[in-house]
Structure 1
Amino acid sequence: MKKKGSNSISVKSKWTKTKWLLSDRNLTQYVPETKRFTRASLNEMTGRYKMVYFKPTNGTGGSGIARIVRTPSRKFRVKKDARMVEVTSVSSLYAHLLKIARGRSYLLQRGVYLQTSRGRPFDLRVTMQKTGGGKWVPTVMFVKLGKPNNVVTNYHQGGKLELIEQTLRRSGYNTAQIKQYQLKLKSLGMKTAHCFNRHSVKFKELGLDVALDRDGRLWILEVNTRPGFSALKSLGDKSLYRTIVRYGKTYGRTR
């Protein structure tokens, strides 16, 4: 664990954080199947799921992530950044992924088909922060809208931030459904914060990346222990940025 800011700690390993979520009976159902990358796990995951994500264990900002899609003819298409490669077997897929990994530790995660808004895939961000009194609060929620066909939705990878209401409305959800999702997201944020708190009370902030799939189900894709603040300035509504900074100041984080 690494200290950041005044006294809020940060955990880089996605594998460590995923294991925490999986060991919590309130959260297991929300975590897509995730395994450490090995020849055997690749065989298993690509056999079980049509789409699998290949993620660096310690990566940030969506960098280094590749998407693997199994075609009807049992070939595999691997997309990383703007580059697409097609391979014909699990062996050649494994060799290709080893080149991408360059000796770094990677994970394989079941791919979730994201809901779209005007053709753009999106996921949801719930930011949890501690008050001065040490209580967890869901402070801001927003949408990360990806570029069509992009592997990730991250702002720094060409994504765009939007307010949850407008995105969900464009996706065909009504007011009652949107309110229901907002309540579910807050509940998921609180459960996750309590899970992380059991591992260390020194966590002061968390950013949950939550997928809404095409069947309307929520999945926790990742939990960031050092969630970004600055991209919120890109929203026309500056109140979210002001809120996140206000809470951040109580534990020494100002940007």
Structure 2
Amino acid sequence: MAKTNVLMKSAELRDYIPTTKKWNRETLHTMLNEHHMVYVKPDLGTFGNGVIRVEKRSTGTYMFQLGTKRHNFTTFDSLSARLQQNIKSRPYLVQRGIHLLKHKGRRFDIRVMVQKNVRDQWESTGIIGRLGHPSKIVTNYHSGGTPMSVESLMRSHLAHWQINAYTNQLRKLGVSVAKQLQSEYPRIKEIGLDVAVDTNFKPWILEVNTLPDPFLFRRLRDKSVFRKVYRYCVHYGRFRSKRRA
């Protein structure tokens, strides 16, 4: 939530951020009535653990999914009580749900790696798609997601030249996010920007990771991407020595 609040200070970035608020019963009720689908997720978490997709159906019933299990409810009170049992006293957020683009029926999002280069300037060094497990709501590799090139995932949605233009847009967005976060966190050297693309091709900033996994980029066919990512990690001291791609 702290990182979201920093990004919200930027007029340029504000429009890319889905409504995100601290978890409580009243906030969940209001956001479900407005958006019909939200994600309830830990304020501090990794690998998509604990992320819950919550929906209000047109019939007035409710559903949430955690992992591969779906739970159905006839009233909001029964839904919120069960969610509270899962959440307990941990800090959680409620975020407007984005209906993601799909590849062969599976949802995907995009990770943009942004790093300080050898000239101490922000540079988007890698972009990779994350294809979600068919039975899960998160796209993380550690939760069964499949890393793939953005070109492969977007090929059925956009022409080749449009994909190139779109990835350039995401690179610029990544640099803007890093610069804005640096205004409050001057020591950061890298971020991993998780971007959702909706069915109108609008990018949404889902999350910013300040200790992103560089080894995800080893999954790309173009090994030069990982080599650059790793080289920059070594340069600013995250790793001591180079490792072969």
TM-score, with normalisation over the residues of structure 2? 0.94
- Following TM superposition, by how much is the alpha carbon of 1:190 offset from its aligned partner in structure 2, in angstroms? 1.3
- Following TM superposition, by how much is the alpha carbon of 1:122 offset from its aligned partner in structure 2, in angstroms? 0.7
Matches within 5 A, 1:61-140: 61-140=47-126
Task: Supply the distance in 2 between the matched residues of 1:195 and 1:207 (Cα, whole angstroms).
Answer: 14
2:215 counterpart of 1:230: yes
Aligned counterpart, 1:249: 234
Residues 197 and 203 in structure 1, CA contact (< 8 A), matched pair in contact too: yes
**Structure 1 unaligned blocks of 5 or more:** 1-14
Aligned counterpart, 1:202: 187
- Following TM superposition, by how much is the alpha carbon of 1:129 offset from its aligned partner in structure 2, in angstroms? 0.2
Task: Supply the distance in 2 between the matched residues of 1:197 and 1:233 (Cα, whole angstroms).
Answer: 27
Return the match for 2:134 from 148, 153, 177. Answer: 148
Task: Supply the distance in 1 between the matched residues of 2:76 and 2:9 (Cα, whole angstroms).
Answer: 30
- Following TM superposition, by how much is the alpha carbon of 1:74 offset from its aligned partner in structure 2, in angstroms? 0.9
Residues 145 and 159 in structure 1, CA contact (< 8 A), matched pair in contact too: yes
Task: Supply the distance in 2 between the matched residues of 1:137 and 1:145 (Cα, whole angstroms).
Answer: 24
- Following TM superposition, by how much is the alpha carbon of 1:234 offset from its aligned partner in structure 2, in angstroms? 3.1
Aligned counterpart, 2:203: 218
Task: Supply the distance in 2 between the matched residues of 1:43 and 1:23 (Cα, whole angstroms).
Answer: 26
Please tell me the residue identity of whatever aligns with 1:64.
G
Aligned counterpart, 2:165: 180
The structure with higher relative contact order (CA 8 Å, sep 6+) is 1
CA displacement, residues 101-139 of structure 1 (integer Å, 9 cap, x when unaligned) = 121010000000000111121101111000233210111
Please tell me the residue identity of whatever aligns with 2:206.
L
Task: Supply the distance in 2 between the matched residues of 1:138 and 1:153 (Cα, whole angstroms).
Answer: 21
Residues 61 and 72 in structure 2, CA contact (< 8 A), matched pair in contact too: yes
Percent same amino acid among aligned pairs? 38
Task: Supply the distance in 2 between the matched residues of 1:243 and 1:120 (Cα, whole angstroms).
Answer: 30
Q: Which segment drifts farther, 200-209 or 229-238?
A: 229-238
Specify the SS of the correspondent of 2:60: coil
Specify the SS of the correspondent of 2:138: coil
Pairwise CA RMSD = 1.3
Residues 245 and 253 in structure 1, CA contact (< 8 A), matched pair in contact too: no
Task: Supply the distance in 1 between the matched residues of 2:188 and 2:116 (Cα, whole angstroms).
Answer: 8
Task: Supply the distance in 2 between the matched residues of 1:109 and 1:41 (Cα, whole angstroms).
Answer: 10
Aligned counterpart, 1:34: 20
CA displacement, residues 52-98 of structure 1 (integer Å, 9 cap, x when unaligned) = 00000001110000000111111111100011111122211211111
Please tell me the residue identity of whatever aligns with 1:40.
E
TM-score, with normalisation over the residues of structure 1? 0.91
Residues 111 and 129 in structure 2, CA contact (< 8 A), matched pair in contact too: yes
